[in-house]
Amino acid sequence: METTSRVGTQGAPRTTATSEGVPAARRTVEGYLRAPFPWYGLDEAFGGRRWLMQVGVSADGTVQHGSTGHGDEPAIGPERPETPGAERERKERFAVVVTVAASPVRRTGDGTGVLDATTVSSAAWLAGSGLLAHTWPPQLDHALRDDWLDQQTETAFALADDLDGPAWSSLSLPVDGVPMPFHYRESEFGWVLAGTTPTGVHLGAYGRGMSAYGLGFAVIGDITTYA
């Protein structure tokens, strides 16, 4: 995978802001409006709640990726109820769509560094790490959470770097009405998928409680409807 730099649990591409675990007050639409690429979400067949997460930006302020949520907004960290996994799964049904700008290796705007390329693996990594950030085991001792996340996100990174490996299967889903191939995997925490859209941007998604097999994706005509 060309993009190997990671920030916390967000990873590729190299960014100065993460898109997971952000208080609702900071999830503003402003960053999304600055993106030079189209945002994707679930298509009109989904009739549930839609909500913003946050964008990731490069060192020069260029928007590189971001996520949009659908369904029940999962609790994170201290907000997460200490309920058994099966009960929590019944309560939380969500799908998050990650849009990643397609970019080659390039220098930063200030000329002091290099921004890694983005690929389908970048979308798979962002989706995989995002799923972990929202689904860490509630019975896990909080003192061990960082170690657990480090271990699991390293695994997610390795899986994203091997999309042709045995952990992934193929899945065809509509994107703007056109069937497109995706890499798909499931785990005890939920599912992750990644592919490329007809517009050229990379698309990742993760979720739990909602089957990935019945989803469709589409360009978001007005991102402010998620705010």
CA angle (225 as vertex; 16, 48 as ends), nearest 5: 105
The pLDDT assigned to 63 comes to 92
Nearest-angstrom CA–CA distance, 16 and 189: 27
Reported as a pLDDT band with limits 50, 70 and 90, residue 166 is very high
Most confident of 88-92, 165-169, 199-203: 165-169
Q: Is 149's pLDDT higher than 60? A: yes
Instruction: Output the six-digit token pair for 172.
Output: 């065809």
Reported as a pLDDT band with limits 50, 70 and 90, residue 144 is confident
- The candidate with the shortest Cα–Cα distance to 127, out of 180, 177, 29, 53, is 53
Reported as a pLDDT band with limits 50, 70 and 90, residue 134 is confident
76-91 pLDDT tens trace: 543 444 444 444 444 6
Q: Is 195's pLDDT higher than 60? A: yes
Q: What is the pTM of this model?
A: 0.80
Which residue is it, tokens 């989706």?
Answer: 127
Most confident of 13-27, 42-56, 117-131, 145-159: 42-56
Reported as a pLDDT band with limits 50, 70 and 90, residue 200 is confident
Q: Please, what is the average pLDDT of the chain? A: 79
Query: Is the distance from CB of 54 to CB of 17 less than 8 angstroms?
Result: yes
Query: Is the distance from CB of 152 to CB of 132 less than 8 angstroms?
Result: yes
12-30 pLDDT tens trace: 433 333 334 444 334 589 9
Cis peptide before 78 (omega within 30 of 0): no
Nearest-angstrom CA–CA distance, 135 and 113: 34
Ranges 144-153, 177-186, 196-205: which has the least confidence:
144-153
| Residue 34 CA: distances (Å) to CA of 66, 67, 93, 115, 145 | 11, 14, 29, 19, 34
Amino acid at 139: Q
Q: Is 204's pLDDT higher than 90? A: yes
Nearest-angstrom CA–CA distance, 192 and 127: 6
State the DSSP code for 166: T
The pLDDT assigned to 59 comes to 76
User: Who's near 109: CB < 8 A, 6+ residues apart?
Assistant: 58, 59, 60, 61, 62
116-128 pLDDT tens trace: 668 999 999 999 9
